[in-house]
């Protein structure tokens, strides 16, 4: 398969969860789970890339390497502007990374820190590690942020007891000594393990007087679409405890969640390939940006390697987050951040009838802006690639959008072939689709419904819109494309 053009992937070897996302000194830093020795999962270290625009990424040397004792699992990074940690070098306030030390022999997991005096290029391990140890084999993925409220100002760590399906919260004044605050869960789902939490405030509908907190938790398995998935919960945080706005039932260990119970939860993404997403530190609260790993643990380790050198794993596009009120409830809105592309084709105020499909050239990479309506009883099909073996088919009918990627998945792992389903509002579709080599990210209903899937490569650079059982009315269809430097 060909490497993606507008999604970050390492030049070689294995990549998974984004780590340590931070904006500092005019650059966005993306650290990530990385195997220095090959394209399989193992020897977990922190790879590193940086960007000035979240689009063009420069891969840099490994930031934090595994040791004989520990692998370096997921975590976060903060700018310790007041040097609360005492780790400043030559008077310069440090960046501090907080991550899981995964004991390679005993399977024990605890939290460690490292500091950087050169803007995140090189890191020094804190000699007093670990800084937090619960005596657990599954205590991981710390996300740290600076809290300021009625209780004062201090660091908060949000981590998980993965097997217990609990989010655990701690506070610290110096990033070295941590005090337990509270826990959340298990709630909402009884499947899998919980991983990679994040907790952050956002204004509702842009109103700074109405701020809610969003808790993100990834789980594997247990995603709505199967395998890995990420839910979000809107609520309040008082500096100690997170409380959801809506009643979310507690679940017991060993219980099984029904499909209806999973569908009732709020999901960051309805696709199968958006996991472990977390947000950037170093930005204003209202400028909240998320990136995620674009794969699924059901098949990630069996996917065909990309490019001339063996490589597995890529990231989603960066997404700007906000909270909006839709259908009487608060929802997470995601706006993709992609490269500037030029319009190459457009259709407006047109009708597609059964038996008379519309075909458009759609090269890679591209963005499709699409607004269409359906006659009563009609459905729409958007086929990507040659008619006999498209990479995927989008099917819209009766308020549901389904993506079928089974046709083009013959060379992929058995678990890959699937159909993802997402509810959409109204009697049509209002969406933006980003297409790259081997992937689609679809943002519908003003970004409140998102579906991300890896795809087989298209056999041709075209899409075909079919109408079935009635007419499809195109309000707007704009194709944008252009040359993009994958470096």
Residues that are catalytic = 17
In our burial notation (b when 16+ CB lie closer than 10 A, e otherwise), range 42-76 reads ebbbbbbbbbeebbebeeeeebbbbeeebbbbbbb
> What phi and psi, each to the nearest 5 degrees, are found at residue 349?
50, 50
Measure CA of the first residue to CA of the last residue in the chain; give whole Å: 17
Query: Are 157 and 98 a contacting pair, CB within 8 Å?
Result: yes
For the chain, the 3-state helix, strand and coil shares in percent, each to the nearest 5, are 5, 55, 45
- Between the alpha carbon of residue 17 and those of residues 8, 251, 337, the distances in Å are 12, 27, 19
* Nearest-angstrom CA–CA distance, 24 and 18: 17
> Which sign does the torsion angle of CA 216, 217, 222, 228 carry?
positive
* Nearest-angstrom CA–CA distance, 215 and 228: 17
* Nearest-angstrom CA–CA distance, 216 and 463: 34
- H or E segment and range at residue 260: helix 259-263
């Amino acid at each position: 398969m060909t490497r993606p053009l507008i999604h970050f992937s390492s030049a070689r070897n294995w990549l998974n969860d984004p780590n340590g996302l931070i904006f500092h000194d005019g650059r966005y830093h993306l650290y990530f789970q990385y195997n220095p020795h090959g394209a399989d999962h193992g020897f977990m270290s922190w790879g590193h890339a940086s960007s000035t625009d979240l689009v063009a990424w420069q891969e840099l040397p490994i930031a934090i390497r595994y040791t004989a004792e520990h692998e370096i699992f997921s975590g976060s990074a903060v700018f310790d502007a007041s040097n609360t940690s005492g780790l400043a070098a030559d008077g310069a306030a440090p960046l501090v990374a907080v991550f899981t030390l995964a004991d390679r022999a005993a399977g024990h997991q605890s939290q460690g820190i490292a500091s950087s005096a050169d803007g995140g290029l090189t890191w020094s391990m804190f000699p007093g590690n670990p800084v937090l140890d619960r005596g657990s084999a599954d205590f991981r993925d710390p996300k740290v942020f600076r809290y300021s409220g009625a209780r004062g100002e201090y660091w908060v760590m949000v981590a998980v007891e993965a097997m217990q399906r609990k989010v655990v919260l701690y506070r610290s004044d110096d990033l070295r000594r941590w005090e337990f605050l509270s826990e959340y869960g298990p709630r909402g789902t009884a499947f899998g393990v919980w991983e990679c939490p994040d907790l952050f405030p956002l204004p509702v509908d842009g109103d700074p007087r109405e701020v809610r907190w969003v808790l993100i938790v990834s789980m594997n398995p247990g995603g709505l679409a199967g395998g890995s998935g990420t839910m979000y919960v809107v609520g309040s945080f008082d500096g100690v405890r997170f409380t959801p706005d809506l009643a979310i039932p507690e679940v017991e260990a060993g219980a099984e969640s029904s499909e209806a119970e999973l569908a009732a939860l709020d999901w960051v993404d309805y696709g199968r390939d958006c996991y472990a997403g977390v947000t950037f530190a170093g930005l204003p609260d209202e400028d909240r940006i998320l990136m995620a790993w674009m794969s699924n643990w059901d098949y990630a380790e069996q996917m065909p390697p990309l490019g001339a050198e063996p490589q597995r794993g890529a990231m989603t596009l960066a997404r700007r987050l906000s909270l909006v009120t839709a259908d009487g409830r608060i929802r997470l809105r995601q706006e993709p951040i992609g490269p500037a592309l030029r319009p190459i084709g457009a259709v407006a105020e047109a009708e597609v009838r059964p038996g008379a499909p519309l075909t458009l050239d759609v090269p890679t990479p591209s963005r499709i802006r699409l607004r269409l309506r359906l006659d009563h009883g009609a459905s729409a099909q958007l086929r990507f690639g040659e008619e006999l073996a498209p990479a995927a088919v989008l099917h819209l009918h009766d308020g549901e959008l389904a993506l079928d990627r089974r046709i083009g998945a013959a060379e992929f792992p058995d678990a890959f072939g699937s159909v993802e389903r997402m509810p959409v509002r109204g009697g049509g579709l209002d969406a933006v689709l980003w297409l790259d080599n081997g992937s689609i990210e679809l943002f519908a209903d003003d970004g409140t419904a998102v579906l991300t899937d890896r795809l087989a490569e298209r056999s041709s650079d075209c899409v075909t819109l079919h109408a079935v059982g009635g007419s499809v009315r195109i309000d707007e269809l704009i194709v944008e494309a252009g040359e993009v430097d994958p470096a």
